[in-house]
Structure 1
Amino acid sequence: MLLFDRFNLGHGFRKYFEIHPATDDALRDSVYRIRHEVYCEELGFEPVRPDRREMDEYDAHSMHCLLRTSSEPTRPVGCTRVVLTRTEEPDYPLPFERTCAATLDRSIVDPSHLPRDRIAEVSRLAVRSTYRRRRGESLADAPIHDEDFGTTVHPRFPYIPIGLYLGAIALAERAGIETLFILTEPRLASHFAKLGVDVRQIGGPVEHRGTRIPSMMDVQGIIKGMRFLLKPMWRTIREEIEAAYEQVSHTGRTV
């Protein structure tokens, strides 16, 4: 997608997309169906389910984010989630703590020593193939490449994956999360660096749907350090997230 207005990403995002916390069963159902389409049917990361919903043990303790088109609000584009720790089981590991148990560098950070109610993990980011830059790209649920930012002559911006990550950050900020962990492709840190977002590697690579590395992000550090160019998009996304929660409080629906 060409960036027609390079200096107002908030306007550009709002023109094409809208983002929601999945605060009810219908929205969560859309999230699970996107994940099934991408992770089960297309990429084969998970087994196909008869009900075409991809769910796991962490979903009940997660905040979910859904991205849809603004022109057709019922058309889902992508999703992600923020996995929270369990207040009733404080020692229950986050997904990355299991996957990276043998490769974490605990001299950098030991998640087990952090306040459990202040940490979370971003995972299950998925974008439907129709909206990915390369339809046939293998083993890629929501890739970001150098080319996605275009050139100075032909600027481009990866609204969809960046929008989902910012949505996850907005959910985390609202929940009082201080540190976010993420298991990603090795190049993600360099792509985020373009936007002023500091992603710190905290361990060696693991084989998990391709090569992945564990990283951490400071929520307030991201918000304060993001580039001027990105801030209008961040404000738009945070406003949409807050508006959705305000509607929930007014209607009495269960989050």
Structure 2
Amino acid sequence: MSLLDRFSLGEGFRKYFEIATAFDDAARNNVFGIRHEVYCEELGFEPVRPDRRETDEYDRHSLHCLLRTSTEPHTLVGCNRLVMARPEDPDYPLPFERTCAATLNRSIIDPAKEPRGAIAEVSRLAVRAYYRRRKGETKAAVAISDEDFGTKEQPRFPYIPIGLYLGVIALAKHEGIETLFVLTEPRLAEHFAKLGVKITQIGGPVEHRGIRVPSMMNVDSIIKGLRFFVKPIWRVVAEEIEAGYATGHPSFRPT
């Protein structure tokens, strides 16, 4: 990627990819199919399902998004979801609250004491194997590495994982979510700092498909703090997510 391309990341993203909301049954089935392909068939994180759809109890209270190629015929690339509290049972824990129950530092933040309608969790990020066939990525559902950003002389940009993260941030912003939680690899904060995104670790590491740490992000701070070269791709992603809201209806809306 040239230096000129680095200053037009929005157009670069639009040239190759598009992010879409997955509000209807067909789109959600695409999400569940990608997850099955990656989590069950390839990585063995979950058992293979007869219907080739990887789902769990949290999907009913989640909003999903899809990343696909922008040119016809569209090819599915990856997906993720925004898990929200249950309106009928707001004390029901988010996935990370269970996984990290023994390692959370509640002096930093206690998710159980936060307004449940203002918090959510980013989870089930998955990128299909063809789009992550690089060193160090074959055993991870999605990854960001130093190599993704290239060098000063030959800069690059990790469109796929960043597009997925920005997509779920746009969902959170639309839904009025203030704080996002994520259980991810320890070096994510370092990589995201290059984009102007601050991630705060809120507990000790746990073993969950590799070593993972619980972290949190403030939605408004993420958007305001994005570095100037990332803002164009954010604008494109946010526009595409809003277009999804204009043409579709989420299966779940927090109350």
Assess, with a 3 A threshold, how the Cα gap between structure 1 residues 192 and 95 changes in structure 2: closer, same or farther.
same
Q: Work out whether residues 36 and 53 of structure 1, in 8 Å CA contact, stay in contact via their aligned partners in 2.
A: yes
User: For the residues of structure 1 that align with 2:181 and 2:190, how far apart are their CA atoms?
Assistant: 16
Unaligned runs of 5+ in 2: none
Match in the other structure for 1:91: 91
User: For the residues of structure 1 that align with 2:136 and 2:105, how far apart are their CA atoms?
Assistant: 35
String of CA shifts for 1:6-63, please: whole Å, max 9, x gaps.
1011000000001111010111000000000000011000000011000000000000
Q: Work out whether residues 248 and 254 of structure 1, in 8 Å CA contact, stay in contact via their aligned partners in 2.
A: no
Match in the other structure for 2:23: 23
Q: Work out whether residues 122 and 182 of structure 1, in 8 Å CA contact, stay in contact via their aligned partners in 2.
A: yes
Following superposition, the deviation at residue 71 of structure 1 comes to 1.2
Superposition pairs for residues 122-137 of structure 1, below 5 Å?
A: 122-134=122-134, 137=137
String of CA shifts for 1:181-219, please: whole Å, max 9, x gaps.
000000000000000000000000000000000000000
TM-score normalised to structure 2 length? 0.95
Q: Percent identity?
A: 71
Following superposition, the deviation at residue 72 of structure 1 comes to 3.0
Match in the other structure for 2:38: 38
String of CA shifts for 1:64-107, please: whole Å, max 9, x gaps.
01000001353100000000000100110000000000000000
Q: Work out whether residues 82 and 122 of structure 1, in 8 Å CA contact, stay in contact via their aligned partners in 2.
A: yes
Superposition pairs for residues 196-207 of structure 1, below 5 Å?
A: 196-207=196-207
String of CA shifts for 1:126-173, please: whole Å, max 9, x gaps.
000101141774421111000110001111110000000000000000
1:124 maps to amino acid? R
User: For the residues of structure 2 that align with 1:195 and 1:254, how far apart are their CA atoms?
Assistant: 32
User: For the residues of structure 2 that align with 1:49 and 1:217, how far apart are their CA atoms?
Assistant: 33
Alignment partner of 1:47 is 2:57: no
Give the superposed CA RMSD: 1.5
User: For the residues of structure 2 that align with 1:106 and 1:254, how far apart are their CA atoms?
Assistant: 32
1:113 maps to amino acid? K
1:84 maps to amino acid? M
User: For the residues of structure 2 that align with 1:148 and 1:58, how far apart are their CA atoms?
Assistant: 31
User: For the residues of structure 2 that align with 1:34 and 1:40, how far apart are their CA atoms?
Assistant: 10
User: For the residues of structure 1 that align with 2:36 and 2:182, how far apart are their CA atoms?
Assistant: 20
Match in the other structure for 1:192: 192
Aligned residue pairs total 251
Q: Work out whether residues 144 and 158 of structure 1, in 8 Å CA contact, stay in contact via their aligned partners in 2.
A: yes
For 2:5, what is the secondary structure of its paired residue?
coil
2:10 maps to amino acid? G
Superposition pairs for residues 111-150 of structure 1, below 5 Å?
A: 111-134=111-134, 137-150=137-150
Match in the other structure for 2:236: 236
1:106 maps to amino acid? R
Following superposition, the deviation at residue 254 of structure 1 comes to 5.9
Q: Work out whether residues 204 and 214 of structure 2, in 8 Å CA contact, stay in contact via their aligned partners in 1.
A: yes
Q: Work out whether residues 129 and 135 of structure 1, in 8 Å CA contact, stay in contact via their aligned partners in 2.
A: no
Assess, with a 3 A threshold, how the Cα gap between structure 1 residues 195 and 239 changes in structure 2: closer, same or farther.
same
User: For the residues of structure 2 that align with 1:155 and 1:18, how far apart are their CA atoms?
Assistant: 22
For 2:161, what is the secondary structure of its paired residue?
helix
Unaligned runs of 5+ in 1: none
